[in-house]
Structure 1
């Protein structure tokens, strides 16, 4: 076949137009490559009418329904799927897992062109000549892309290499118009890192008190174009993603349980987010994982690792764990039947019970790695690395430890505070704590104020989220936390005032929640200048019942409840549920705005201790 002219290649890359002669013509029927969305639609319509039988648009099935349908099929087949928590090991076999994580860097420019990174803009609206491999275009390394990559490597405790180089990884596919991907195979910019995983990270129980997973290297590379499948075996290609800077994090094969693999991917995502290196996670397609799986019999620990297979492009934590379990079980079944594990690349679909073969596994020779002749080495100075390390700030593990130690929060609450809203939620919490400390005055570290700080954590986590669940209008759906820990909808000073009065028992929990709602709906400071002004003008101060009034109300609440009161005599287990039932009667019978539920519970206990023996004697 004669070599095509440059003009022909240009028409193919930009508009999907091919000459009527030549072996590539058949591809034009199924792979029109276009530049603008309007051109995509026109090309699709023309192609469908001239070459393809009309195909109906596939009906979109929600993910939840897909999972339900798969569960129904599994149930109908009579097979029972083991819960993952009980399916971490197989007797007689050892699982070994290594992970390659691809994460999109938080940058404004692409890796080798000045085009801006784009995730939601019109298709092919941010494409430079080099992104399309237009003849004569050259890669120009965008230095600003190095900064988030270095932050990521430092967060993962890697050694930064002073000199790194780019290589070409050759393969042909329509999402890679140049015929090769630029990466760092031989001399990456970071090596020899590690990630410490603890039980609170969600590792398998079999890993005990923790595990350290080594990181072989982290390399920078360019992303490929985005392929969008259409009806009738047609594919559209969006080159906006071509050249978007990625880092590839390659771990050592130190993982031996599926849950631990999923925990590592989650931990990496949290660390990259905390370092402001990658702000788009798995749920948005900004982080993808490839999993290498092998098994061997555990009767000979000195034996070499088994033949590994690779599962590509896993896009959720559940998929990571499920796919590893499925591939482990497949390999064990093959080996136990006398078969041989092939070196291959496999795929995984949501709701599947088995991995599927995609292709034979490529190796170093297949990709024909070679140094890129158009790019100079990257020289990274120690002064830059030291500056980034000193300005890194506190990483999630250290902050979680501080929250648990200082405020006695549960591990779950501490981790949630740190992880939510990209770290902005925990900054908001610290600002509220600072304002509360000012309100408490001297000796703010006294144990008597600890419950106030715990109240702040609880409300920052839960009560603020309940505000957005009402969905009264679109304007009320987003709290809008800022990088410095502020919130336009619920200013920190207002929340601190509400929590201070609640902690001091000057307002009730019900009134506190109503005040929070008023703040969220912008009635403060529009209708009232301050929280104090709202409470004063609406007369919302808590005027609690005195002790005699509590006792009288408790006695009224137990009247006619002899069967309930009898359960507080000679009990084996204290009937707490019945106690709270009687406390509920107290609140309903009395003035709710004047009753403290905790005080009501204490008084009810005393009253029951007095009258329960009397009822026993009467019976």
Structure 2
């Protein structure tokens, strides 16, 4: 068989035109209608590659002209995207006639160097079974000894959740048999936890579902201490290895009231919990590294009866990402509704979720208090927490995320979105970097305006926020080319390894004072990132004569005249407008920028000059 010419192949793939030459033309040709949305039929016959033997139908030209396949696929993609957006917006958070109720259990690993009941050290990614005490593997005769240092991060977490710290709490045994539990029970605080009756408020700026309005308060039923289990390493051939380094690692379990009614709000709750625990130095790592896990309890009920009791709940275990929380709740809500609408019943059970799947899956029947056979642990004395310790930890608690967000928005003028990004990036180190850079610029501005009224803080704090969130992130991508490391690294006190706070503050100070242009500032930032500023920012500006030499007011006026010349139609819109045509103004400003000398025009000054001109056009 000869090679098909590219032009003929293209006609077939894009237009549905089949060549009449070669081996294809020699074969018997039949005609059939072509499915709508694939290839629209042409006036001539089209070969039916998958037609049943002997089947022939006719495709007529009356169905319309041929539409190229590429356009069809493009139109289909647009339609699917449009429908997808509509579905996501209308259907994902609510279902007509049904109410969703969600309760969440958060398991967070405490930031301590010792395990909960043994002196063995906690470890990450170290040699398996290298940090194991006798009690961890339930050796006969070994006894639990509470490591007091584990209390500090646990109490900080409970205080940040507005909980009441219980003066006396006790430990219980939760019995179940599995290979990752050497003793056959887990030590926890089921009946008398160390903290109760807390709450956390989620706001619209956190990203909660629009149906929740401006805020929603989620009650915290209790916070309890408990020990973790072994890590199971799955091998080939139905073999499992156990790493007992994780056995006995201290956890807190945070149990909410069933106060959440929308999937997105549940995901926001988990994200805010992760941020909160990191802020108060409680949780050793986030969901992405396994330091925090979420279980969600989901139930549905009809909304036609306001006194109807809550539906039977199912539990989805070990959700490991924020997105998984929302997706799993949506999937389980849909499954329960379908089951109830077809006359079925919801069975209390534990279910699992796999990233990327569309349905939850059954793991086992739901265990209850009776199944676990809870009993007080006879080997551990009651835990007594003194008021002086609680007071000390309360007074030394870090600034909580909501308070910091309020300050970034009100005092420094950042948008809620930028403020939230700033405190979540790099585990809080990015916001410390922001304060470091801003303090340096503030000192320079205060020194310059010592004899006069200094400018408003917000006039340059927003500039600093924008560059630290956006411009600094861009240099790690395509702009830095193959020399980019791809990541920014920050110390806990807010210093950046790639672009020092002093370099960035110098750069942004001169940009704010219009000593350099934005283009020059971006080039200097990239040079600092690539470690090419040997003498610092100021020396680079002076050595390369990068100072901004702005044109005179007279030159601005001349440029405005040139930009307006021949634009009678555009200028007429300024004479007749009902709403000021800002877009046309910026068109004329852009023309001024192109006509003027490169890197010597201030866009804001050009806009002011042109605005004054066009405002004079309007008839009184």
Give the TM-score normalised by the residue count of structure 2: 0.80
Root-mean-square deviation (CA, aligned residues, Å) is 2.9
- Looking at structure 2, the residues matched to 556 and 117 of structure 1 have their Cα atoms a distance apart, in angstroms, of 72
SS at the partner of 2:106? strand
Q: Give the C-alpha shift of residue 80 in structure 1.
A: 10
| Match of residue 519, structure 1, among 528, 531, 537 | 528
- Looking at structure 1, the residues matched to 85 and 599 of structure 2 have their Cα atoms a distance apart, in angstroms, of 53
Q: Give the C-alpha shift of residue 468 in structure 1.
A: 2.3
More helix by share: 1
Give the equivalent residue in structure 1 for 2:410.
Answer: 405
Give the equivalent residue in structure 2 for 1:484.
Answer: 493
Q: Give the C-alpha shift of residue 432 in structure 1.
A: 2.2
- Looking at structure 1, the residues matched to 594 and 484 of structure 2 have their Cα atoms a distance apart, in angstroms, of 36
In the alignment, structure 1 segments of 5+ residues that lack a partner are 1-71, 614-619
Give the equivalent residue in structure 1 for 2:274.
Answer: 269
Q: Give the C-alpha shift of residue 478 in structure 1.
A: 4.0
Where does 1:312-391 land on structure 2 (aligned, <5 Å)?
Answer: 312-391=317-396
Q: Give the C-alpha shift of residue 145 in structure 1.
A: 1.4
Distance 1:431 1:186, change over 3 A: same
Q: Give the C-alpha shift of residue 84 in structure 1.
A: 5.7
Does structure 1 retain, via aligned residues, the 8 Å contact 2:194–2:225?
yes
Q: RCO (CA 8 Å, sep 6+): is it higher in 1 or 2?
A: 1
For residues 450-496 of structure 1, the C-alpha deviation after alignment (integer angstroms, 9 at most, x for no partner) is: 21111111112112222322565788444332222233432323222
Q: Give the C-alpha shift of residue 249 in structure 1.
A: 0.2
Give the equivalent residue in structure 2 for 1:550.
Answer: 556
| Match of residue 539, structure 1, among 545, 549, 564 | 545
Matched, 1:452 2:460: yes
Give the equivalent residue in structure 2 for 1:504.
Answer: 513
Does structure 2 retain, via aligned residues, the 8 Å contact 1:85–1:204?
no
Does structure 2 retain, via aligned residues, the 8 Å contact 1:158–1:190?
yes
Does structure 2 retain, via aligned residues, the 8 Å contact 1:199–1:208?
yes
> Relative to structure 2, which stretch is displaced further, 269-278 or 438-447?
438-447
Matched, 1:89 2:97: no
For residues 191-242 of structure 1, the C-alpha deviation after alignment (integer angstroms, 9 at most, x for no partner) is: 1110111111222222222121111111111111222333443333332222
Does structure 1 retain, via aligned residues, the 8 Å contact 2:199–2:220?
yes
Where does 1:556-595 land on structure 2 (aligned, <5 Å)?
Answer: 556-557=562-563, 570=576, 575-595=581-601
Does structure 2 retain, via aligned residues, the 8 Å contact 1:553–1:586?
yes
Larger radius of gyration: 2
For residues 573-594 of structure 1, the C-alpha deviation after alignment (integer angstroms, 9 at most, x for no partner) is: 6554454444444434433221
- Looking at structure 1, the residues matched to 368 and 578 of structure 2 have their Cα atoms a distance apart, in angstroms, of 68
For residues 92-127 of structure 1, the C-alpha deviation after alignment (integer angstroms, 9 at most, x for no partner) is: 322221111111111222222222222222333333
Q: Give the C-alpha shift of residue 571 in structure 1.
A: 5.3
For residues 113-164 of structure 1, the C-alpha deviation after alignment (integer angstroms, 9 at most, x for no partner) is: 2222222223333333333333333322222111111111111111111222
| Match of residue 495, structure 1, among 504, 525, 528 | 504
Distance 1:443 1:459, change over 3 A: farther
| Match of residue 106, structure 2, among 101, 106, 109 | 101
Equivalent pairs, count: 537
- Looking at structure 1, the residues matched to 109 and 415 of structure 2 have their Cα atoms a distance apart, in angstroms, of 32
Give the equivalent residue in structure 2 for 1:461.
Answer: 469
- Looking at structure 2, the residues matched to 319 and 489 of structure 1 have their Cα atoms a distance apart, in angstroms, of 33
Give the equivalent residue in structure 2 for 1:42.
Answer: none
Distance 1:216 1:135, change over 3 A: same
Where does 1:598-613 land on structure 2 (aligned, <5 Å)?
Answer: 598-606=604-612
> Relative to structure 2, which stretch is displaced further, 511-520 or 171-180?
511-520
Give the equivalent residue in structure 2 for 1:250.
Answer: 255
> Relative to structure 2, which stretch is displaced further, 98-107 or 477-486?
477-486
Does structure 2 retain, via aligned residues, the 8 Å contact 1:431–1:485?
yes
For residues 509-560 of structure 1, the C-alpha deviation after alignment (integer angstroms, 9 at most, x for no partner) is: 1122222233333344xx21x4333322222211101122223334445667
Does structure 2 retain, via aligned residues, the 8 Å contact 1:555–1:607?
no
Give the equivalent residue in structure 1 for 2:125.
Answer: 120
Distance 1:80 1:154, change over 3 A: closer
- Looking at structure 1, the residues matched to 469 and 201 of structure 2 have their Cα atoms a distance apart, in angstroms, of 26
SS at the partner of 2:140? coil
SS at the partner of 2:476? helix
Give the equivalent residue in structure 1 for 2:218.
Answer: 213
Distance 1:81 1:519, change over 3 A: closer
Distance 1:186 1:448, change over 3 A: closer
| Match of residue 174, structure 1, among 175, 179, 204 | 179
Give the equivalent residue in structure 2 for 1:41.
Answer: none
Does structure 1 retain, via aligned residues, the 8 Å contact 2:275–2:424?
yes
Give the TM-score normalised by the residue count of structure 1: 0.80
Does structure 2 retain, via aligned residues, the 8 Å contact 1:102–1:246?
yes
- Looking at structure 1, the residues matched to 518 and 85 of structure 2 have their Cα atoms a distance apart, in angstroms, of 46
- Looking at structure 2, the residues matched to 305 and 444 of structure 1 have their Cα atoms a distance apart, in angstroms, of 65
| Match of residue 151, structure 2, among 141, 146, 154 | 146
SS at the partner of 1:594? coil
- Looking at structure 1, the residues matched to 208 and 454 of structure 2 have their Cα atoms a distance apart, in angstroms, of 36
SS at the partner of 2:491? coil
